Structure 1
Amino acid sequence: MNNSLLTYQEATSQLTPDQKVGQLFMPAAFINDSEEEVQGLEHLIRTQHIGAICFFHSRASAATNFEGKKKVVYNENSYDRLKQLIDRYQKAAKIPLLIAIDAEWGLAMRIENTPQYPYAITLGAIQGNEDLIEQVGWQIGMDCLQAGIHWNLSPVADINNNPENPVIGYRSFGDHKEKVLSKANAYLKGMAKSGILNSIKHFPGHGDTATDSHLGLPVIDKSKQTLLQNELYPFKRLIDQGVDSVMVGHLSVPALDDSGNPATTSYPIITELLRNELGFEGVVISDALNMHAVSKNYPEKGTLEAAAFHAGMDMMCFSENPAEGISQILSSAAPEHIEASFKRIWALKEKAFSEKGKENNIEYQLSPLNKKLAKQSLTSYISNQDTFAQVREGHFLNLSVGNPYKNLFSQKIESAFDQKHVHLYPEILEDMKNLQDGDQKVVLALFPPAIKPKDNFGFSSEVLRLINEILSLKNTVAYLFGNPYVLDILDCTKASELIIVYQNFQEFQEIAFEHFIGNAETPGKLPVQLKTLQL
């Protein structure tokens, strides 16, 4: 058999049962693997007839390790390495592989020095202008295709209606079902124009949980009727409109399955609800099977993959035990069940390897799009127009806090107003307190060191106390270049003016400066409710 894709009729007659089951497995591939590890995956692809692989940056940053247990080594040549590895793994495969990646905000989610687009929460702040969201989906799709990737495992269709959520948060378009549906639909339309495959996630809805499924099993304790009206609403509507795949999350939902099984291994959730009740006929793919929410409950190799398959799963993402999983499925599954999943996977392959509808070799620029997105998402959270006039007159403290890649905003203010930029480091806290005493007017640029809420987004308790002291001043203009949930760990009740910029990209910093000098509006609206301050 050569490396060209057979038709389904040819494949179903020529492939053996173990080859067909191998097509249902998607082990992880890592950009920064050693040569020995790369050869190990090549051997797995050859011997187990693997159907797909999903790329991650490194073993230290993937799934259960992302909380910082291992040091992440950055690789400036990740993109070239990605393309090289795709070529090697495709050559190792007798049947062309589906190449997948999580590129929710672009390849930059996994790969250094690649185009980065705004997070979903930023896009959620944009009012209308769905054509911009569609353009994001299209450009991300084109970036994937040019790298050799067929399947972007996005968008997130979860409604983030729990401010305590440690894993979805900024990855969701917001906490309103209609707006999540509208944004996800526009993103999907853009991806479809590029020819890239999609996957809505994390079914049946990962938004209302305070547990990280990488580390433990979240429980969604709501009635089925409530779930259908809210969490399941975007999934049902998007399924009705047509999607390539649905990713099932590691969630316990007693109203849908009272056995305690996570959705990933739940027949009532996958087969009875998703397949039969909601009528989804495409590929059902698992969230990463190495995540502790499920993996710790299946110590025997292969049993998790078999349980997921028998529940109705088609593609086993991040399976760590493909050989054992294939063996268990072969020995326990009915041939017609294997054939049904194989047929769905093959249909995806036929779509992915077809050139029809793909727009190749089209030039576009990232920066102009990001600038449009910055203009439309800029959000006034606390507004007092008199503050701007008062702050801009005379001397003010031009202060930044956090960890910006490059702080253009404060530099522009220094240049335009002749107010020296001061960056707050933990080592100079006392000096900053003295400096603050001499200034009752402050322009504060907040750059949270981390996008995720763990450990207060990377802010120390001492720095948080000083930020709150500054926010309590009578004339403070603050710009937040990061996750708006940061405001839940700050005391904003006395802040004079607070603008949410969402991203620290150059284009977003430029628009923030334009706003400070009065040349930009704030048409955006915060797409989620914060717990500390309801305005």
Structure 2
Amino acid sequence: MNKIQKIAQFFSPAAFIHDTEENYQAIERLIIEQEIGGLTFFHSRHSAAANFEKRAESLDTEGTFEKLIGLINRYQALSKIPLLISIDGEYGLAMRIEKTPQYPFAITLGALKKDAEKWVEEVGYRMGLDMKRSGIHLNLAPCADVNTNPNNPVIGYRSFGDQTEKVAKLSFAAYSGMKKAGIGACLKHFPGHGDTAVDSHLGLPILQKTKAELEAEELFPFQYGIDRGVEMIMVGHLAVPALTGGKDIPASISRELITDLLKGEMGFQGLVISDALNMKAVANLYPEPGELEWQAFHAGNDILCFSDHVKEGIEKIAQNTSDAVVDAVFEKIMDLKKRLGVMETKVVEVPTFDWESHSQLQKELAENYISIISGEIHTSELQSLSKKGKLAYREFFTQEASRFSQDIKLEFSPIEQAGKVIITVFVPSHKPLSQFGMDQATLDEIKELAKSKPCILVHFGNPLALKHLGNLEDFEAVVCAYQGFEEVQEVMAKTLQGL
């Protein structure tokens, strides 16, 4: 192979499942003419940086999974060297593909009370198996970001929490589970995106901390993983002036950060993958096509994800890089492909999922993470009030009666005559935008109700949304269920009834 062909293996541009035939053919040309090394799959162009809620576009999403498998087979058939297929599935294939198993968010798994590392590894393993059976070799997850900024617009539910050591242990456990399933995984977003207030899809977050502060918090989970043999790390688009000589340069294109700090000081010997190079934090810095790709490679990235200028990027890197550097990175990528079984790629059949086993796992996890955040719940008292016609129930942000309301076998009375009210909130969004999708009028109604009667709040959703429900001391008790899955509602109903 010549130098150009080797450099082409460093590229993993975006491929969209729902797209035009013209765009599918453009990917085919990249495979045939540029001989790229891999593809990173996304649901559709409008949702490339999002997941399922409130899609901006209206398109026919029927058969997304079958379409994905068809495209993987179609593209692999054209590639001389089998493609490394990756996806960004932090909570499973479901982050990108409808009607596939969805696992709890990282913030939920961070609430596990017993054997958390064991359970998180099991979740990583199950996710990994789903992907491996689907022809995917690499999951661009988990997040090793410590979410210390509660207003973080882009991490939040994607982090295992705000405790550094817990994040280090659980992100490594998730990584280990995926590796056990035979797929690749990576810790992200180095050097740590948890204490930022800007979404790097839209602008450049700048983290003003000293190196000592960064080592104690942001860098700790990455060092923990490196010390235990993590083979891949993704670098984020955020500026950390304390690590780059005072410059506001994105980490993803900073040689000081990737080559000197990550590979030098921290001793990382694995593969570095860039975060998506189309993100606004870096995409607008270099108007000349190919220059961004060269800067990212020169900084120390081995795999260039979501490049919009593949041909020009290959040419720029070839002009500026020695054969020895190219050969070293090429060998690392080919070694990864061999380890992950990419070279034995066969035609993928559409797999079936064991939904019963998945449902059972969801129940066991829910029993472990559902938490009483404040106050106490006396199930016998609820039974007694119910019999006396003194217990009321209200649920918010549901379109129809929830599974929880059907499973809870208590008699409810009108609020006016109740001595106590069970309030359930099904948080519409897991992202902080627009108060997690909760309108102010409804929030005011919940707060008023909590002040007027003794209330038990059952919160199905991101715990970071609790701050919008007023003073939690106004509720007699607050239970956080973290997710709205049917299985979680079932477990929550049993918990409330003491079953």
TM-score, with length taken from structure 1: 0.87
Could you tell me which residue of structure 1 aligns to residue 358 of structure 2? 366
State the 1:188 CA deviation: 2.0
Choose which of 406, 411, 422 in structure 1 pairs with 2:406. Answer: 411
The residue that corresponds to 1:144 in the other structure is 131
Residue equivalent to 1:31: 17
- The alpha-carbon deviation at position 345 of structure 1 amounts to 1.2
Q: Kindly tell me: are residues 515 and 106 of structure 1, through their superposed partners in 2, closer, same or farther at Cα, counting changes over 3 Å?
A: same
1:113 counterpart = 2:105: no
Contact in 2 for aligned 1:249/1:264 (Cα 8 Å): yes
Alpha carbons of structure 1 residues 405 and 126: separation in structure 2 relative to 1, 3 Å:
farther
Matching residue's letter, 1:468: K
Which of 487, 491, 495 does residue 515 from structure 1 map onto?
495
- How much has 1:67 moved relative to structure 2? 9.7
Gaps of 5+ in 2: 345-350
Question: Are 1:310 and 2:292 matched, yes or no?
Answer: no
In 2, the alpha carbon distance for the partners of 1:477 and 1:67 equals 28
Identify unmatched segments of 5+ residues in structure 1.
Answer: 1-14, 421-434, 520-535
- Does structure 2 conserve the Cα–Cα contact (< 8 Å) formed by 1:63 and 1:288? no
Query: Could you tell me how far apart the structure 1 residues matched to 2:109 and 2:216 are?
Result: 23
Q: Which residue of 2 aligns with 1:472?
A: 451
The equivalences for 1:127-276 within 5 A come to 127-129=113-115, 130-257=117-244, 258-276=246-264
User: Is the Cα–Cα contact under 8 Å of residues 83 and 342 in structure 2 kept in the other structure?
Assistant: no
1:386 to partner: Cα distance: 5.2
For 1:224-259, what per-residue CA distance to the aligned partner results, in whole angstroms no more than 9, with x for missing partners?
Answer: 111111110110010111122100000100110122
**CA spacing shift, 1:180–1:286, aligned 2, 3 Å:** same
CA-to-aligned-CA distance 1:420-451 (integer Å, 9 cap, x gap): 8xxxxxxxxxxxxxx75565532111111111
Match 1:446 to one of 403, 420, 425: 425
Q: 1:355 to 1:505 in 2, by over 3 A?
A: farther
> Which secondary structure does the structure 2 equivalent of 1:31 belong to?
strand
Residues of 2 paired with 1:297 and 1:379: CA distance? 45
Tell me which residue corresponds to 2:465.
486
Which amino acid counterpart does residue 474 of structure 1 have in structure 2?
K
Secondary structure in structure 2 of the residue aligned to 1:255: helix
AA at the equivalent of 1:493: E
Structure 1 residue 279: Cα displacement = 1.1
Which one is further off, 239-248 or 384-393? 384-393
The structure-2 alpha-carbon separation of the partners of 1:33 and 1:445, relative to structure 1 and needing over 3 Å to count, comes to same
Alignment equivalent of 1:283, drawn from 268, 271, 276: 271
Alignment of structure 1 residues 306-455 onto 2, 5 Å: 306-353=294-341, 365-385=357-377, 389=381, 392-393=386-387, 394-403=389-398, 407-413=402-408, 416-419=409-412, 439=418, 441-455=420-434
Contact 2:386 2:412 in 1 (8 A): no
Q: Is the 8 A contact 1:61 1:68 kept in 2?
A: no
| Cα 1:91–1:354 shift into 2, 3 Å | closer
TM-score, normalised to structure 2, is: 0.93
3-state DSSP of counterpart to 1:53: strand
Question: How much is the aligned-residue C-alpha RMSD, in angstroms?
Answer: 2.3
**Is residue 2:477 matched to residue 1:504?**
no
Q: 1:323 to 1:147 in 2, by over 3 A?
A: same
Conservation of the 8 A alpha-carbon contact between 1:64 and 1:214: no
Q: Structure 2 vs 1, CA of residues 32 and 355 (structure 1 numbering), >3 Å: closer, same or farther?
A: closer
Per the alignment, residue 87 of structure 2 pairs with 101
Residue deviations 1:122-163 (CA, integer Å, cap 9, x gap) = 110012412221111111010000100000111111111110
Shift of 1:472: 2.4
Deviation of residue 406 (structure 1)?
7.5
Deviations 1:505-535 (A, max 9, x none): 111101110111023xxxxxxxxxxxxxxxx
Contact 2:114 2:368 in 1 (8 A): no
Separation in structure 1 between the aligned mates of residue 203 and residue 429 of structure 2, nearest angstrom: 22
Q: 1:437 to 1:164 in 2, by over 3 A?
A: same
How far off is 1:291 after superposition?
A: 0.7
Checking the alignment, whether the CA contact within 8 Å between 2:391 and 2:418 is kept in structure 1 is yes
Task: Name the CA shift for 1:298/1:405 in 2 (closer, same or farther; >3 Å).
Answer: farther
Contact 1:473 1:494 in 2 (8 A): no
Shift in CA distance, 211/74, structure 1 to aligned 2, threshold 3 Å: farther
Distance 1:225 1:405, change over 3 A: farther
How many Å separate the matches in 1 of 2:97 and 2:410?
38
**Per-residue deviation, 1:452:** 0.4
Q: What CA distance in whole angstroms lies between the structure 2 residues aligned with 1:79 and 1:295? A: 30
Q: Distance in 2 between matches of 1:419 and 1:141?
A: 44
Q: Is the 8 A contact 1:159 1:208 kept in 2?
A: yes
1:200 Cα deviation from its structure 2 partner: 0.5
The one-letter code of the counterpart of 1:481 is F
Q: Distance in 1 between matches of 2:305 and 2:275?
A: 6
Contact 1:404 1:449 in 2 (8 A): no
Q: Structure 1 residues 27 and 220 mapped into 2: Cα distance closer, same or farther (>3 Å)? A: same
Q: What secondary structure is seen at the aligned counterpart in 1 of 2:188?
A: strand
1:458 is aligned to 2:445: no
The 3 A distance-change label for structure 1 pair 69 and 505 is closer
1:254 and 1:260 in contact (8 A); partners too:
yes
Contact 1:440 1:473 in 2 (8 A): no
Deviation at 1:464, TM superposition (A): 1.4
Query: What code does the residue aligned with 2:493 have?
Result: F
Question: Counterparts of 1:175 and 1:122 in 2: how far apart (Å)?
Answer: 12
